[in-house]
Amino acid sequence: MSSPSLAVVIAAHDAADTLPAQLAALADQQIDIETEIIVVDNGSTDATATVAAATDDPRVRVIAATDGSGAGYARNRGVAATGAGWIAFCDADDVVAPGWLAAVADALGRHEFVTGPLDTAALNEDWLAGSRGAAIATGQPMFEGVFPIASSCNLAIRRQLFDEHGGFDEAFRIGQDSELSLRLWRADVELHFAEAMVVRYRYRPTMRGVFDQARSFGRAQVAIERRLAELGVAAPSSGRAVRRGLWLLRSLTGLRSRAGRARWLYVCGTQVGRFVGRVRRR
């Protein structure tokens, strides 16, 4: 059998509860080019591999990635396991919207590197969905206004380009998608935003989860800013920390609502993560 034209890579760790919804959403979508769906089980201690193997979709293949850990490592292993010329990434805890697979194929037929909107309303309660702004991101995301980024939960790229630039940097436990976007931006690769390529994004459903994820994002931001500095690109103004600190003080009254608490914890967690990232660097 010839190599598939498109491979969808899903990095999964302890995702038995959420992975079935993602696989079901993909099973409902068919395109007229050969496709495979690779679930990369990265050291799960639950039934992730069993759940993935039990799907009725013949395009699904499960591989074990046990020589390392982290989403970047697992995604690179998934790419290495396929001969497909086009690669798409989505996550085990999200759900691709109807038409996503066709939108990926259409976009990759015309562009080397693509991303699309994240719908944050479909899988999250109202208080959580509203905690980070718009319910659906309809414009190209940017890293602090400096360069365009593609989230690894909704990213597609031509295989040759991915290989030429070394794939994901596995040293980045969080933010490997922003780091890859940065390298491609510096190489003058255009990131195309495909409006029809929608992923329904799932937030962490607890206040502790919101804070912990934001703290990880904050540490990743510091690492990306350091990489920018190494490349001789001016990082965003340091005055952001002061502005966000003032926002946290002004927004204390919003803690009475669940949405207000979630928003406050997200901003606070980001700032804590940034502080920890700088301290550990020193």
Instruction: Determine the pLDDT at residue 270.
Output: 86
Instruction: Determine the pLDDT at residue 65.
Output: 92
Instruction: Determine the pLDDT at residue 5.
Output: 93
Asked if 264 and 205 count as a contact pair (C-beta separation under 8 A), the reply is no
pLDDT of 129 higher than 60: yes
* Amino acid (1-letter code) at residue 268: C
Distance CA 187, CA 176 (A): 17
Asked if 158 and 108 count as a contact pair (C-beta separation under 8 A), the reply is yes
The two most distant CA atoms of the chain are separated, in Å, by 62
Q: Which of 227, 218, 203 is nearest to 128 (CA)?
A: 203
Instruction: Determine the pLDDT at residue 259.
Output: 87
Instruction: Determine the pLDDT at residue 117.
Output: 94
Q: Which residue(s) pair with 154 in the sheet?
A: 90
Q: Could you tell me which residue, 213 or 41, shows the higher pLDDT?
A: 41
What confidence category does residue 113 fall into, taking pLDDT thresholds of 50, 70 and 90? very high
User: What average pLDDT does the structure give for the chain?
Assistant: 89
Q: Model confidence over 133-184: pLDDT tens digits?
A: 655 566 788 888 899 999 999 999 999 999 999 999 998 888 899 999 999 9
Distance CA 221, CA 275 (A): 11
- pTM of this prediction? 0.90
Give the Cβ contact number of residue 147 at 10 Å: 18
Q: Model confidence over 194-238: pLDDT tens digits?
A: 999 999 999 988 899 889 988 888 888 888 988 888 888 876 655
What percentage of the chain reaches a pLDDT higher than 90?
60
The least confident of 22-36, 53-67, 154-168, 220-234 is 220-234
Q: What is the mean pLDDT of residues 238-255?
A: 76
H helix intervals, 201-251: 207-230, 239-250
Q: What is the mean pLDDT of residues 121-141?
A: 77
Instruction: Determine the pLDDT at residue 237.
Output: 57
pLDDT of 1 higher than 50: no
130, two tokens: 């509203």
What confidence category does residue 239 fall into, taking pLDDT thresholds of 50, 70 and 90? low
Instruction: Determine the pLDDT at residue 134.
Output: 57
Instruction: Determine the pLDDT at residue 281.
Output: 59
